[in-house]
Structure 1
């Protein structure tokens, strides 16, 4: 799996370097390149988390894709990082799915961050030119559950990546808070909800974890949310 990811990223090296070149003089961190640990493939219901962007990351140097993947490996899904809402909620999701801690895979919609945060305007458009990598990443990882912690503000980017994607409502959840995403390149259990920080601040976190705990994995499509 990681060898496949390496080959994928290697084919996009010139695209990464083109983005970096356009940001000369700016603190552009990334790209975030996945290298999941061995426990990911051992889980009954492999989980892929898709976030927004990093808050600082490694910098691509010397055309070295492998070294950039090692940054991901050493971070190890927040092991040793402070208990931020993002990683705290992710650990709860793993437990809710019956998975061991630090067994999910994680990527971001944006492969780069600017000054430790989100990009806007022309910068966002440039970074978004490599957004399509997410399709290939999902196809390589083959998750059973995919959670977009991106909130509705990133929906337009998701819709450009997955052409023809549909957002379906989930009972008892406004579609801005939770949506079932349907697309041939995404697993049946794909949901978009808010960033964990907002889930916590808005009081939605307990209900969200309860929802994940109750997913009916005996069906190809969750019958409780059709």
Structure 2
């Protein structure tokens, strides 16, 4: 399947999702949803990877505006997977975004696929929660009133068929993630010793089988008090690349 066809399928489910959102819980506190565009490089890599963050935190400075699907997809595409960040206002000069999240994504993707180009746009980026509330994590009531967001993520995986999905959700969204993936917590296998926050599991979504990894947000490894000074960023990255480079599905 080519990226034109893949993006058309995504747009169809996004249109339906936005229609539902407008009719239900989309209040003035909620940001616009993060919706993906698949770049052509995705079809050329040996191992297709989707990285799943938590929520937007007013990503790109425009997410709190009510935008139509075409504008949301345009923002995602112009962001170039962190290679053309325009600042919080969304109007600055484009530059590569240098953050733990994006550096981890690039290094992980390049390491697993044996690439030298860390700006290759051959991976996918989505969020487990499609929106934030006032720039931060949605409340439990917002989340439970809006199950369509989690279901949309499952549809995204089913359409794009990544070989590997990396969830930066820790335990924060695990209840909802396990429910939607129809996984018991016992199905997640610890990688390395218990001090390394990295687990893996296999899952079939639709008729597509993929390997799942779950860890903390990369920012936590650099700034979180529980991991500071322990080199956890590098430990998790190296272990993830090592495990994902082998086919254990």
TM-score, length basis structure 2: 0.78
Which 5+ residue runs of structure 2 have no aligned equivalent? 1-5, 86-96
Residue matched to 2:88: none
Residue matched to 1:224: none
Residue matched to 1:10: 15
- 2-side partners of 1:89 and 1:163: how far apart? 28
2:73 corresponds to 1:79? no
1:1-226 correspondence to structure 2 within 5 Å: 1-19=6-24, 21=26, 23-24=27-28, 26=29, 28-57=30-59, 58=63, 59-61=65-67, 64-81=68-85, 82-97=97-112, 98-99=114-115, 100=117, 101=119, 102-166=121-185, 167-174=187-194, 177-185=197-205, 187-201=209-223, 202=227, 203-215=231-243, 217=245, 219-221=247-249
* 1:5 Cα deviation from its structure 2 partner: 0.3
CA contact (8 A) 1:168 1:175 kept: no
* 1:121 Cα deviation from its structure 2 partner: 2.8
CA contact (8 A) 1:31 1:60 kept: no
Which 5+ residue runs of structure 1 have no aligned equivalent? 222-226
- 2-side partners of 1:216 and 1:169: how far apart? 14
Residues 177 and 220 (structure 1 numbering): CA distance in 2 closer, same or farther, change over 3 Å? Answer: closer
- 1-side partners of 2:168 and 2:24: how far apart? 24
- 2-side partners of 1:19 and 1:35: how far apart? 25
TM-score, length basis structure 1: 0.85
Corresponding residue SS for 1:152: coil
May I ask how many residue pairs the two structures share in their alignment? Answer: 216
Q: Deviations over 1:82-113 (max 9, x none)?
A: 31111111111122112443321000001111
CA contact (8 A) 1:165 1:181 kept: no
- 1-side partners of 2:233 and 2:140: how far apart? 31
* 1:188 Cα deviation from its structure 2 partner: 3.8
- 2-side partners of 1:204 and 1:127: how far apart? 34
CA-atom RMSD in angstroms: 2.2
- 2-side partners of 1:3 and 1:188: how far apart? 22
Corresponding residue SS for 1:71: helix
CA contact (8 A) 1:110 1:128 kept: no
